């Protein structure tokens, strides 16, 4: 029996349906995007950015971590990726990020930032921008960002300094090129050679991303930048104008004659989040052997890691119960300090007492004037003998 023809509603829905065209990318073309990651720094989770440059033809990726998506970070990240790959992609696809695009006209024309224009001219690359809200036009790098987060940030990377973090991610990307392409069945490293053959030669001089600003020294000998006070006492006269050379990682303060006054690290207001350590230890109690493989244990100070990772499972359970309780009362740094000073044979009761004494010494003032009792009811009593028994000086 023949099927009935489409109804008017079905035909209208079919006409409105959005369809996509599969895009083909020749060797040498790249796509660029940022993704947000978390790293472990001083027992806290710190928000960081990962710049991803991917090549759809070979499925190769080069990555570089930055503290933010500011223009200087964006350009520095691309420069570092170019140096990793040993050349410059001829064409690069971007979304309309503010580090590159100032304004999009009603006919799609784009006003680019001055810094991005100079960067493209220096490296002789062609920048192509996706339509607004059309991330699928650079779908390869969107997928590669997710792949990087799932495979290279689990367990959470430790942040000791920026250079070590950058080296870690570069090594992860290099090792990933040894696997087979998901569709072509050939090593990504072999396919990358076709991409690499199309790269432009790196310029003899690397691009130095920065922007120039100005500030007036106040009467206290200070200037303000991004909400941060920078002292210049005895370096520049109050009322003088100075130039600020803004790099991704530092600020160079210059006189109007471009003489260096001082350099300071660039302040970033990176978001941090406290790790709920009490809950972490409570969860580890359910599976004692998981301590050896927990990503959170790697984030702890060494003294706490050793204490929690004791081989005897019965003792490990007792210590994890103690840590779960202590973390609800004391900072993890204070717990680590007490564990470092204690002997290896110290019991949970002894360590709990030691933690209490440290807290008492920190929180109770040396002298306290009692003002609540009515006049004549106050008495002066010496507690020195009690202090000696408790070991409090």
pLDDT per position as a tens digit, 16-45:
655 555 556 789 999 999 999 999 988 889
pLDDT surpassing 70 at residue 360: no
pLDDT in tens, 338-356: 999 988 788 999 999 888 8
Residues 6+ away with beta carbon under 8 Å from 301:
43, 332, 333, 336
Question: From the CB of residue 119, how many other CB atoms can be counted at a distance below 10 Å?
Answer: 22
Residues 6+ away with beta carbon under 8 Å from 203:
122, 123
pLDDT confidence band for 94 (50 / 70 / 90): very high
pLDDT confidence band for 131 (50 / 70 / 90): confident
The whole-number pLDDT of residue 247 equals: 95
* 165 DSSP assignment: H
Q: Which residue has the tokens 């972490």?
A: 280
pLDDT confidence band for 59 (50 / 70 / 90): very high
Least confident window among 47-51, 136-140, 324-328: 136-140
CATH architecture of 211-265: Beta Barrel (2.40)
pLDDT confidence band for 139 (50 / 70 / 90): confident
Q: State mean pLDDT over 365-389.
A: 58
pLDDT confidence band for 275 (50 / 70 / 90): confident
Question: From the CB of residue 106, how many other CB atoms can be counted at a distance below 10 Å?
Answer: 5
The whole-number pLDDT of residue 13 equals: 67
Q: Tokens for 84, please give them.
A: 């990793």
Burial-class residue 312 by CB neighbours within 10 Å (0-12, 13-18, 19+): exposed
Name the average pLDDT for the chain.
Answer: 87
Judge whether 57 and 191 are in contact, CB under 8 Å: yes
List 40's β-bridge partners, or say none: 45, 158
The whole-number pLDDT of residue 393 equals: 60
The whole-number pLDDT of residue 110 equals: 87
End-to-end CA distance of the chain: give it in Å, rounded. Answer: 99
Judge whether 270 and 280 are in contact, CB under 8 Å: no
Q: Tokens for 361, please give them.
A: 């010494």
Burial-class residue 120 by CB neighbours within 10 Å (0-12, 13-18, 19+): middle
Looking at the domain that runs over 29-197, which CATH code has it been given?
A: 3.30.420.10
Rounded distance between C-alpha atoms, residue 34 and residue 48, angstroms: 10
Q: State mean pLDDT over 302-309.
A: 92
Rounded distance between C-alpha atoms, residue 1 and residue 150, angstroms: 51
The whole-number pLDDT of residue 375 equals: 55
Rounded distance between C-alpha atoms, residue 274 and residue 42, angstroms: 10
The Cα-based distances of 41 to 57, 218, 366 in angstroms read: 36, 35, 34
Kindly report the pTM of this predicted structure. Answer: 0.77
The whole-number pLDDT of residue 390 equals: 64
pLDDT confidence band for 148 (50 / 70 / 90): very high
pLDDT in tens, 192-245: 999 999 999 999 999 999 999 999 999 989 999 888 889 998 899 999 999 999
Q: Where are the domains of the chain?
A: 29-197, 211-265, 275-363
């Amino acid at each position: 029996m023949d099927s009935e023809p489409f109804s008017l509603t079905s035909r209208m829905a079919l006409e409105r349906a959005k369809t996509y065209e599969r895009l083909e990318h020749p060797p040498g073309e790249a796509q660029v995007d940022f993704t947000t990651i978390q790293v472990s720094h001083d027992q806290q989770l710190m928000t960081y950015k990962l710049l991803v440059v991917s090549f759809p033809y070979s499925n190769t990726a080069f990555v570089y971590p930055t503290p933010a998506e500011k223009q200087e970070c964006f350009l520095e990240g691309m420069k570092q990726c170019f140096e990793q790959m040993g050349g410059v992609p001829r064409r690069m696809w971007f979304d309309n990020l503010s580090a590159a695009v100032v304004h999009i006209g009603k006919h799609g024309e784009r006003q680019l930032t001055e810094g991005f224009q100079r960067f493209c001219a220096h490296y002789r690359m062609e920048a192509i921008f996706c339509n607004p809200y059309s991330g699928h036009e650079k779908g390869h790098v969107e997928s590669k960002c997710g792949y990087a987060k799932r495979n290279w940030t689990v367990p959470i990377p430790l942040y000791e300094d920026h250079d070590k973090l950058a080296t870690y991610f570069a090594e992860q990307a290099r090792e990933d090129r040894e696997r087979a392409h998901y569709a072509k069945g050939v090593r990504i490293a072999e396919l990358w050679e076709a991409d690499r053959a199309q790269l432009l030669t790196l310029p003899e001089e690397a691009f130095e991303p920065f922007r120039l600003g100005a500030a007036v020294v106040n009467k206290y000998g200070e200037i303000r930048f991004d909400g941060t006070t920078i002292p210049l006492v005895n370096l520049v006269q109050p009322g003088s104008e100075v130039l600020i050379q803004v790099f991704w990682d530092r600020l160079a303060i210059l006189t109007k004659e471009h003489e260096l006054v001082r350099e300071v690290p660039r302040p970033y207001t990176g978001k941090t989040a406290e790790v709920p350590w009490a809950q972490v230890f409570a969860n580890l109690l359910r599976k004692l052997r998981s301590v050896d493989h927990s990503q959170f244990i790697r984030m702890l100070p060494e003294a706490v890691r050793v204490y929690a990772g004791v081989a005897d499972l019965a003792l490990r359970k007792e210590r994890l119960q103690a840590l779960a309780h202590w973390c609800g009362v004391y900072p993890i740094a204070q717990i680590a300090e007490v564990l470092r000073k204690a002997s290896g044979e110290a019991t949970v009761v002894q360590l709990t007492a030691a933690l209490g004494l440290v807290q008492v010494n920190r929180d109770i003032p040396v002298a306290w004037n009692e003002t609540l009792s009515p006049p004549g009811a106050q008495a002066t009593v010496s507690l020195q003998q009690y202090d000696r028994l408790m070991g409090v000086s």
